[in-house]
Amino acid sequence: MSVVKIFNYHISTDQMFRLVFHFVFWTVWIFFPIINAGDNEDFRRFYWAIFPVVLTNIPLFLLNSAWLIPKVFRRRGLPGYLVALFILIAAFSLLHLVMKQWLIPPDLVRRKWDIFWAVVPVVFLTAISTGYGFIVYLLRQEKARQDEQQERLQSELSFLRSQISPHFIFNVLNSIVYLIRSKSPQAEPVTIKLSELMRYMLYESGGSQVPLDKEVEYLKNYVELQRIRFEEDVDIRIDIEGSPNSHVIEPMLMIPFVENAFKHGVGLIPEPVIDISLKINGKGLGFSVKNKITPETAEEKDSNSGIGLRNVRRRLELLYPENHHFEIKENGEWFVVNLNLHLNDKSSS
């Protein structure tokens, strides 16, 4: 639900609707009879005499719209609400009748109209407050439903992110263990790179969206880490085109593709190649990751495609439902992941 800022106060559209409605309605309800009276001095005297009666319509309206509907109707249903509404109408009709008998000057009394004019305004106002009350009730129900849906969405996204990060760290730590055991001089720079990656994961990727340039830098650091690890054993290609500076993206969205390629595209693969392409054109992002496969690794992928790719697919469905195209395919000896995404600008995030 949208929010309006007025004098440093944030007001929801629901609150704004109620404020405007009450201001307009009660202004018309109270002052229109006086304006409409024209030169009828008797009516003016009559109206000012019963003005306290007019003011009792405010608690009548609020009792119905702000208590009977959200409390009685929600808990006891329509039958319980109708009984309470009948009692409310009867009580205020009697109150108006008694007050008018006491307040109206003798020369203005029209006894044959007393009961009629005590009941009809109450019923009329109650009908208006019922319509208003149910509109507000439905708006609140919808807001509660949206809040609940948003809470479930955030919980699911948090769960998906919590799966991705440990999975990624586990793979990188395995790489460091490998380098330490082989007494490689690259163990220290790889560890430093890992610390840079973890700093990003812990301190910069916690928001709903992050600057695309930082996500690209994170991707490049990861690729550089793998380049240090594999040296000349793996042909690692990375091509980045376009400027990421003015866009934002869901954090940790692209790295599972690259991680998956290194997981399944090296090792027993003859002449392994990891080919990464990122193209940014206006608000469009095209991201592709290719790695070589053999029939054995293809079989392994079919049986277990990896937590990362499954999670990314789900996150895309939740966060970019109409603004992405995601496909995974095998093309000969290549396993290819393609993602096309409509980006948001930094100013609109």
69-98 pLDDT per residue, tens: 988 998 888 999 999 999 999 999 999 888
Token representation of residue 158: 């948090």
Going from the C-alpha of 325 to that of each of 47, 250, 303, 318, 333, the distances in angstroms are 68, 15, 23, 13, 23
**CA 301 and chain centroid, separation:** 34
Q: How far apart are CA 343 and CA 308, in angstroms?
A: 21
Token representation of residue 55: 């003011």
Inform me whether the pLDDT recorded for 132 exceeds 60: yes
Q: How far apart are CA 11 and CA 3, in angstroms?
A: 5
Strands 344-345 and 210-211: unpaired
> At 4, is the pLDDT very low, low, confident or very high (cuts 50, 70, 90)?
very low
Q: What is the pTM of this model?
A: 0.56
Structural domains of the chain in order of their starting residue, each with its CATH number: 3-145 (no CATH), 184-348 (3.30.565.10)
> At 174, is the pLDDT very low, low, confident or very high (cuts 50, 70, 90)?
confident
DSSP code of 343? Answer: P
Q: Render 209-262 in DSSP notation, one character per residue.
A: -EEHHHHHHHHHHHHHHHHHHHTTSSEEEEEEES--TTEEE-TTSSHHHHHHHH
Asked if residues 290 and 335 have their Cβ atoms less than 8 Å apart, the reply is: yes
% pLDDT > 90, the chain: 28
Q: How far apart are CA 74 and CA 147, in angstroms?
A: 19
154-165 pLDDT per residue, tens: 666 666 565 555
Inform me whether the pLDDT recorded for 167 exceeds 70: no
